[in-house]
Chain A
Amino acid sequence: MNTHGLDRRAFLGRSAAGIGTLALASLLNPCAMGGAPGLPHLVPRAKRVIFLFMAGGPSHIDLFDPKPLLNQLDGKPIPAHLLRNHQQFALIRGTPAFKPSPYSFRRHGQSGITLSSLLPNLARVADHLAVVRSMHADSNVHDPAVHLMNCGTLLADRPTLGSWVSYGLGSENSDLPAYVVLTSGVSDGQPLLQSFWGNGFLDSRHAGVPLRNSGPPVLHLANPEGVSIAERRRQLDLARWMNERRHDALGDPEITSRIASYELAFRMQASVPELTDLRREPESVLRLYGTDGVRPSFARNCLLARRLVERGVRFVQLYDRGWDSHTDMDREHRRQCAAGDQPAAALVADLHQRGLLDDTLVIWGGEFGRTPVAQVSGNTWGRDHHPHGFTVWLAGGGVAPGITHGATDEFGYHATENRVHVHDLHATVLHLLGIDHRQLTFRTLGRNFRLTDVAGSVVRPLLRHSA
């Protein structure tokens, strides 16, 4: 029993009689209930987050972090000193050789952000981006690395970033969940686990709700065949009458919450299809993102993400699969960028144009980068998992625009300058949301847990001044 729940009940005990039915329902909506006590700790710069998660690990040295030295080292074996102090590669065995990027790099915009030729659309919004080239993480295995990026730990049973944010700040929309997950991309044998959007030890209302690509977007959203909206309303009215009598008889406030949950479920039956019906979007917007509005794709999900944050959803996470390019780097990264470059850029531009970018934080990145050495496979080559130095970019939500932060060494191997650990990224994201990462805690098993465990510091240079 938490104090928040008690406060809520105490409040209702005093005021329920004087409030209209719908207002009461929305007050009681467990999804709309706002966060933990004492929050925000700081003045928030961002109100909501869209995390474009590139599952599998995009290659930093082919997209964001040019390493001309690799052209000279092409085919040369990796020197032993780079391999000191860390475990072996994920899949490469023996001593691999360096492989330069086949793509050209150019500076873009007034800020001169450097991007590869695979990202021509992102280049157009370069001045909004903060590119962090000095990320590092703790595992070169997908699962634990994804958990680290999402939960701040390699373990699978902890709350994810979106759950922490939902727990801390609650939702701004009484008709939709606070934390929504969208998936796209091609199969590369790396499944998306339930724990990637799990609530861990937090209440299950903080779990991510995946919107599905086929059938109804939320499981069991549609009434059974032959049950009209009017019929369902009649059923719910009768159930409500019964529940209210039950509440009168027992005095258990949980029954009032139950009534509210059923009312919200009923409203979601209208609000979710409205949300996911992209036919009403102007043709120009569909073109901007590169979606027909119907076919499942990363592009459609980016547009959905904008519609979600527009409606006050706190945290939207997109999983785009297909970045795990072990064997055919060129084909696979071209494919991913062809599908992903335009929509990600469109999202930034669209949010900006609508005035939403100022308080919406966009994060783009995977669980790690890829090795500067090749993983050769017959006639083609790829790159292996690489957590020691990689790139993510941020935009909006109080992030300094048009900057490049940190650097890897001349090989693109280790993050060397202004290193940013995943914990630091999390601390920064929470900071932008007005949350002191050291104070957002949940007590279980005898201690306070937090997203950043016992580490993490806010990366000050990433914050926009005078925001």
Chain B
Amino acid sequence: MQAGAKPGNASASRMPKTLPILASILALAFHAAAMAGLVEFNRDVRPILADRCFPCHGPDRASLKAGLRLDLPANASTPAMSGAVPIVPGRPADSELVRRIASHDDDLRMPPPPHAPLPQAQRDVLDRWIAGGARHEPHWAFVPPRRANPPVVARIAWPRNPIDLFVLAELERHGMSPSPEADRLTLLRRATLDLTGLPPTPAEIAAFANDGSPAAYEDLVRRLMASRHYAERRAQDWLDLARYADTRGFADDKPRDIWPYREWVVEALNLNMPFDQFTIEQLAGDMLPDATEAQRVATGFHRNSPQAKGQTYPEEEYRLKGVVDRVNTTGTAWLGLTLACAECHDHKFDPIPQADYFRVFALFNNTEHSGSGFAQGGPLLPIERAGRKLSAPVMRERSMPRETFVHVRGNFLNPGAKVAPGVPSLFGVPEHEMPRDRLGFARWLVNGRNPLVARVFVNRLWQACFGHGLVRTPADFGLQGESPSHPELLDWLACEFVESGWDMKALHALVINSATYRQSARRPAANPDPANRLLGWMPRTRLPAEQLRDSALAAAGLLSQGAPTPDAAPFFPPQPDGYWEDRDLPGTWTATEGPGRHRRSLHIYWRRSALHPTMELLDAPARTVCIARRNSSNLPTHALVTLNDPIFVEAQLALAQRVLREVPDDASRLDLAFQLVLGRHPDPEERDRFLGFVAGNASPARAWAGVAAVLLNLDEALNRP
């Protein structure tokens, strides 16, 4: 699988997904609409302007050419420096823009060389847009979500909840139908892996298969979501955003006791803490009146910023790097905005002037830094966990606020205008309502009126269920991000989420219980939508690194599922000898002995400069920056891990021993192994093949180790079905 982004130069930017050769239904829709002159600003025009024109004729004042801003309708329709009018609404022939983009004269043509000229199709779109009056619309993501009534559909028996009405209406609009429901055991394995990160056990398989209640699936979902494993699985995605790691980063990369924060996340998700509270406690728990220890520990979120030793440059720079990381991470995780682009200059695509960046910066600029040592990066809270005394990194506000200045060209040694704390102007918050500190900012994010926060959250949850979000750029809801495939569904879910009191579990249950989620993963034979934008079938997703290890251990009966709290400190599964030493990394990896080494991968010691290779090779991020979507590749080096890594070999051998021990004959052993690894029973052909494989081996132990190796490496085992 590729990450969401596309290669190619600027000229190829927006068009590939609409190339007619792909015969995608969306392409047809696009062309049909464009042919008919139905040009929509947000869908058709803004992407072209944003990508090809705004870099010099957009919000960044520093790189503005000829004083022309095509993002402002009034500016674009008044005579430019040359006297010509760039856009004359209704009259493309009189519009200088139309002449310039079609010009063959390199001195006149826009965009100028070396940029590629606009392809004909894009010129036509702009031409028709101007002919139709050149109407602008505000960017969809900056307008608050509106809760539309779910649409009317023809196939009324299919939908199970409002989500399905939105999905089905789109499918029907394109003459397509949804896929049938997946079989029962597929549903069980799908929901169990997605909700707990673990495969279903044989007992769960039997219970679900025999549950004749019409609400069996909903009951299953409820039971799975009540398990602490649910919180552990959900925490994993949040920790990617939080760039959680057990070391500070950079070359020094010393360990620190920040894992109580990780456990805070698990606990909060386990208790289904409302997302507004979840937000406020992590961003500003220390500033709440009578803040509890847990609320202070929660602020470890922003103590995850990498922190260098800070011995060489002016130390201040090392503090500022942390503040920048906090602003950028907050921008990605809550707002889905690439605020980072505005650190050194005005944002080139989104309406975020550099001063706005530093207003947010000012909100995060007042925390204590040095603590008892500069490299530590801030205060430590003495706490006790399972009898151990720890010092957990937390945030603490200074009594004397620091002054904040714009860093001219991102250079803090070159301070520009002084700025007051606040939120970006695009949100239109009046000055008297402006958040003035971190706590005010956190409350503002989740006051229910922010156009982005709920959408961004809902989108990531959708991504967790379907592999991709409704917006396929989960970290960018700005002008250069992708438009939602189902805008009304996204908005409906966002409104539902806020109105539910930010109930994360309820939202998740809604998606998991939908007919959309319960579809078969089989691709339709005639497939006009190969990218599955319309969700006409259920996309399979490769299990994340942690789930690959945990599933193998669970199938083998090795996974330690003991009481979570005393177990919460990081542990050290076996790592190849010399792995750190080869790279000259200080420290020695001492593998955890005993059952503790079989704990869930969530707790593996996460070293930023050299992540445990089993995790790294299976695409887990080192977590030096906020990650909204993991890469998920399919490489021979993965195959070598799941075939030969001692962690996986131990699971293969233990699984073999388990089936030999637990059941008396080969047929039932095979059946048990299939259930443990694949969550189903073998069909007769599979039984013959596998039993033939077993018979071809002199030693039962070897034979069953081979079966275990095969099963654990099947595409079916490596993917959530």
Contact = CB atoms under 8 A, between A and B. Distances in A.
Interface stretch (B144-152, B392-400, B498-506, B580-588): B580-588
Interface string B275-318: 00000000000000000000000000000001010001110000
Contacts of A1: 1-2, 4, 531
A201 B5 contact: yes
A3 B3 contact: no
A243 B715 contact: yes
Given A219-B613, A221-B644, A242-B710, A212 B473 contact: no
Interface string B389-413: 0000000000000000000000000
B312 A90 contact: yes
Nearest to A91: B312
A445 B338 contact: yes
A450 to B, nearest CB: 9
B716 interface: yes
B577 A214 contact: yes
A112 interface: no
B473 A30 contact: no
Interface string B612-630: 0100110100101100000
Nearest to B115: A438
A258 B634 contact: yes
A14 interface: no
A69 interface: no
Given A3-B6, A156-B624, A446-B480, A261 B634 contact: yes
B142 interface: no
Contacts of B267: none
A227 B702 CA distance: 9
A239 B713 contact: yes
Interface stretch (A183-191, A330-338, A347-355): A183-191
B251 A5 contact: no
A215 B634 contact: no
A195 B640 contact: no
B584 A194 contact: no
Given A37-B7, A241-B689, A218 B637 contact: yes
Interface stretch (B10-18, B91-99, B425-433): B10-18
Interface of B is mostly: loop
A167 interface: yes
Contacts, number: 257
B518 to A, nearest CB: 16
A273 interface: no
A189 B584 contact: yes
B580 to A, nearest CB: 8
Contacts of B613: 219
B9 A204 contact: no
Contacts of B625: 157
Contact of A194 (B7, B313, B610, B706): B610
B710 A238 contact: yes
B250 A143 contact: yes
A255 interface: yes
A218 B635 CA distance: 13
B561 interface: no
Contacts of B131: none
A218 B523 contact: no
A213 B582 contact: yes
A418 B624 CA distance: 36
Contact of A183 (B19, B542, B582, B716): B582
Interface residues of B, number: 98
A444 B5 contact: yes
Which residue, B7, B251, B709, has most C-beta atoms of chain A within 10 A? B7
A443 B348 contact: no
B636 interface: yes
B364 interface: no
A219 B348 CA distance: 43
Interface string A183-209: 100011111111100010101110001
Contacts of A224: 644, 646, 649, 652
Interface string B646-670: 1001001000000000000000000
A193 B251 contact: yes
A9 interface: yes
B640 A2 contact: no
Contacts of A36: 7-8
B3 A446 contact: no
Given A235-B709, A443-B13, A212 B582 contact: yes
A226 interface: yes
Nearest to B619: A204
Nearest to A446: B480
A214 B350 CA distance: 50
Contact of B640 (A213, A214, A218, A257): A218
A38 B8 contact: yes
B7 A446 contact: no
A6 B312 CA distance: 48
B644 A446 contact: no
A193 B652 CA distance: 32
Contact of B644 (A31, A220, A257, A441): A220
A261 B7 contact: no
B681 interface: no
Nearest to A443: B5
B227 to A, nearest CB: 29
Contacts of B709: 227, 235
B542 to A, nearest CB: 8
Contacts of B523: 250-252
Interface in B675-721: 686, 689-690, 693, 696-697, 702, 706, 709-710, 713-716, 718
Given A191-B586, A203-B633, A446 B530 contact: no
B706 to A, nearest CB: 5
Interface stretch (A74-82, A262-270, A459-467): A262-270
A192 B583 contact: yes
A234 interface: yes
A255 B645 CA distance: 22
Given A201-B3, A235-B709, A3 B622 contact: no
B312 A141 contact: yes
B162 interface: no
B611 interface: yes
A30 B578 contact: no
A231 interface: yes
A156 B521 CA distance: 38
B546 interface: no
B478 interface: yes
Nearest to B644: A220
19 contacts: A10-B22, A30-B636, A141-B312, A156-B249, A189-B586, A191-B610, A201-B5, A212-B578, A215-B578, A220-B643, A221-B644, A250-B540, A252-B540, A254-B540, A261-B634, A321-B584, A439-B9, A445-B475, A447-B480
Task: Give 5 closest A-B pairs by Cβ, nearest first.
Answer: A446-B480, A265-B639, A265-B636, A251-B523, A220-B644
Given A222-B644, A234-B693, 15 more contacts: A1-B2, A1-B531, A36-B7, A37-B8, A88-B312, A193-B583, A193-B610, A238-B710, A239-B710, A242-B710, A250-B523, A258-B634, A262-B713, A439-B9, A445-B341
Interface of B: 1-10, 12-13, 16-17, 19, 21-22, 114, 249-251, 253, 306, 308, 312-314, 338, 340-341, 348-350, 473, 475-476, 478-481, 521-523, 525, 527, 530-531, 540, 542, 576-578, 582-586, 609-611, 613, 616-617, 619, 622, 624-625, 631, 633-641, 643-646, 649, 652, 686, 689-690, 693, 696-697, 702, 706, 709-710, 713-716, 718
Interface of A: 1-6, 9-10, 29-31, 36-38, 87-88, 90-91, 140-143, 156-157, 167, 177, 183, 187-195, 199, 201, 203-205, 209-210, 212-215, 218-224, 226-227, 231-232, 234-235, 238-239, 241-243, 246-247, 249-252, 254-255, 257-259, 261-262, 264-265, 268, 321, 438-439, 441-448
